[in-house]
Structure 1
Amino acid sequence: MPAIRLVAAGAAGALAAALLTATATPVSARPSLAAAPDIPVANVKAHLSQLQSIATANGGNRAHGRTGYRASVDYVKAKLDAAGYTTTLQQFTSGGATGWNLIADWPGGDTNHVIMAGSHLDSVTAGPGINDNGSGSAAVLETALAVARENLQPTKHLRFGWWGAEELGLIGSKAYVNSLSTADRGRIDGYLNFDMIASPNPGYFVYDDDTALEKVFKDWFAAKGIATEIETEGDGRSDHAPFKNAGVPVGGLFSGADYIKTASQAQKWGGTSGQAFDRCYHSSCDTSSNINDTALDNNTDAIANAIWTLSTATAPPPGTVFENTADVTVPDAGAAVESPVTVSGISGNAPAALAVGVDIRHTWRGDLVVDLVAPDGTAYRLKNSSSNDSADNVIATYTVNASAEIANGTWKLRVRDVAAQDTGYINSWKLTF
Structure 2
Amino acid sequence: MAGTLLALVLGLGTLPAAATPSGTSPASTPTALAAPDISLTAVRAHLDELSAAAARNGGNRRSTGQGYRDSVAYVKGKLQAAGYTVTEQPCTSGCTSGAGPNLIAEWPQGDASAVYMFGAHLDGVSAGPGMNDNGSGSAALLENALTLARENPELRNRVRFAWWTDEEQGLNGSDFYVRTLSSAERSRIKAYYNFDMVASLNGGYFVNHITSAAAAPMKAYWDSLGLRPEENTEGAGRSDDYSFERYGIPTSGYAMGASARKTSAQAAKWGGTSGAAYDPCYHRSCDTLSNINTTGLDRAADGIAYTVWQQAVGTGGGGTCDPAAVVGNGGFESGTAPWTGTTAVIAAHTGRAAHGGTRLAWLGGNGSTSTESVGQTVTVPAGCTRASLDFWLWIETAESGSRAYDTFSVRVNGSTLATWSNVHAGGGWTQRSADLSAYAGQTVTVTFTATEDHSLQTGFLLDDVSLSGA
Determine if contact 1:36/1:304 at 8 Å carries over to the other structure.
yes
Partner of 1:274: 275
How far does residue 214 in structure 1 lie from its aligned partner after superposition? 1.6
Measured in 2, the distance between the counterparts of 1:204 and 1:180 equals: 32
Asked if 2 retains the 8 angstrom alpha-carbon contact of 1:32 and 1:312, the reply is: no
- Determine the C-alpha separation between the residues in 2 that align with 1:186 and 1:215: 20
Q: CA deviation at 1:264?
A: 1.0
CA distance in 1, matches of 2:301, 2:310: 14
TM-score (norm 1): 0.65
Residue 68 (structure 1) aligns with: 67
Whether the aligned pair in 2 keeps the contact of 1:132 and 1:286 (CA below 8 Å) is yes
**In the alignment, which residue of structure 2 is the partner of 1:49?**
48
Structure 1 stretches of 5 or more lacking a match?
1-30, 318-323, 330-340, 342-433
| 1:327 Cα deviation from its structure 2 partner | 6.1
Between the aligned partners of 2:63 and 2:209, the Cα distance in structure 1 is 29
Contact 2:210 / 2:216 at 8 angstroms: preserved in 1?
no
Deviations 1:331-371 (A, max 9, x none): xxxxxxxxxx9xxxxxxxxxxxxxxxxxxxxxxxxxxxxxx
Count, aligned residues: 296
Write the distance in 2 (CA, Å) between the matches of 1:250 and 1:221.
Answer: 17
Which aligned pairs between 1:341-352 and structure 2 lie closer than 5 A?
none
| Matches of 2:134 and 2:199, distance apart in 1 | 9
Letter in 2 for 1:129: G
1:211 CA drift (Å): 1.3
In the other structure, the counterpart of 2:90 is 91
Distance in 1, Cα, partners of 2:238 & 2:56: 29
Q: Compute the displacement of 1:222 (Å).
A: 1.4
CA distance in 1, matches of 2:274, 2:339: 42
Q: Distance in 2 between matches of 1:98 and 1:283?
A: 21
Q: 2:98 is aligned with what amino acid?
A: A
Give deviations 1:197-224, integer Å, cap 9, x for gaps: 0001110001116611222111111111
- Return the offset for 1:99: 2.3
CA contact (8 A) 1:99 1:172 kept: no
**Residues 305-324 of structure 1: pairs in structure 2 closer than 5 A:** 305-312=306-313
| 1:381-401 deviation digits (Å, cap 9, x = unpaired) | xxxxxxxxxxxxxxxxxxxxx
| Structure 1 residues 292 and 91: CA distance shift in structure 2, 3 A | same
Distance 1:62 1:135 in 2: 13
Whether the aligned pair in 2 keeps the contact of 1:210 and 1:251 (CA below 8 Å) is no
TM-score by length of 2: 0.60
Shift of 1:154: 1.2
Q: Please give the residue correspondences for 1:239-250 in structure 2 after superposition, counting only pairs within 5 Å.
A: 239-250=240-251
Which amino acid is 1:83 matched to? A
Partners of 2:188 and 2:121 in 1: CA distance: 22
Provide the residue aligned with 1:36 in structure 2: 35
CA distance 1:183–1:224, shift in 2 (3 Å): same
Contact kept in structure 1, 2:210 and 2:230, CA below 8 Å: no
Q: 2-side partners of 1:55 and 1:121: how far apart? A: 12
Contact 2:120 2:141 in 1 (8 A): yes
Confirm or deny: 8 A CA contact 2:59 2:129 kept in the other structure: yes
* SS, match of residue 166 in structure 1: coil
Contact 2:65/2:99 (8 A) holds in 1 = no
Contact 1:109-1:154 within 8 A present in 2 as well: yes
Please give the residue correspondences for 1:259-270 in structure 2 after superposition, counting only pairs within 5 Å.
259-270=260-271
Cα 1:250–1:209 change in 2 (3 A) is farther
Describe the superposition over 1:287-329 as per-residue Cα deviations: whole angstroms up to 9, x where unpaired: 0110011000011100110011111267799xxxxxx994699
Q: Which amino acid aligns with 2:195?
A: F
Listed as ranges, the matches of 1:117-266 within 5 Å are: 117-208=118-209, 211-266=212-267
* Aligned residues of 1:121 and 1:164 also touching (Cα < 8 A): yes
Q: Deviations over 1:270-290 (max 9, x none)?
A: 111121110100000000110
Give per-residue Cα distances to partners, 1:11-61, cap 9 Å, x unaligned: xxxxxxxxxxxxxxxxxxxx8642110011111000001100110000000
Partner of 2:102 in structure 1?
101
1:265-414 → structure 2 map (5 Å cutoff): 265-312=266-313, 326=340
Contact 1:201-1:277 at 8 Å conserved across structures: yes
Alpha-carbon displacement from aligned partner over 1:148-183 (angstroms, at most 9, x marks no partner): 111122100110000000000000000100111001
Q: State the AA in 1 paired with 2:149.
A: A
Q: In the superposition, relative to structure 1, how do residues 314 and 326 fare at CA in structure 2: closer, same or farther (>3 Å)?
A: farther
Q: 1:205 to 1:124 in 2, by over 3 A?
A: same
Partner of 1:79: 78
Match of 1:347 in 2: none
Query: CA separation in 2, counterparts of 1:147 and 1:325?
Result: 35
- Residue 325 and residue 292 in structure 1: after superposition, are their counterparts in 2 closer, same or farther (change >3 A)? closer
1: CA distance between counterparts of 2:315 and 2:184? 20
SS, match of residue 211 in structure 1 = coil
Q: Distance in 2 between matches of 1:315 and 1:243?
A: 26
Mapped to 1, the partners of 2:49 and 2:253 lie a distance apart of: 24
Report deviation, 1:96: 2.1
Work out the CA distance in 2 between the residues paired with 1:293 and 1:33. 27
Distance 1:249 1:308 in 2: 18
RMSD: 2.3
Give 3-state SS (helix, strand or coil) of 2:91's partner.
strand
1:87–1:81 Cα change, 3 Å: same
Distance in 2, matches of 1:38 and 1:250, equals 24
CA distance in 1, matches of 2:130, 2:295: 19
* Aligned counterparts of 1:183 and 1:66: Cα–Cα separation in 2: 34
Q: Which runs of 5+ in 2 are unaligned?
A: 1-29, 319-337, 344-376, 378-470
Aligned mates of 2:173, 2:97 — CA distance in 1? 14
2:119 aligned partner, one-letter code: G
In structure 2, C-alpha distance between the alignment counterparts of 1:95 and 1:219, rounded to whole Å: 38
The share of aligned pairs that are identical, in percent, is 52
Query: What is the distance in 2 between the residues matched to 1:101 and 1:328?
Result: 48
AA aligned opposite 1:35: A
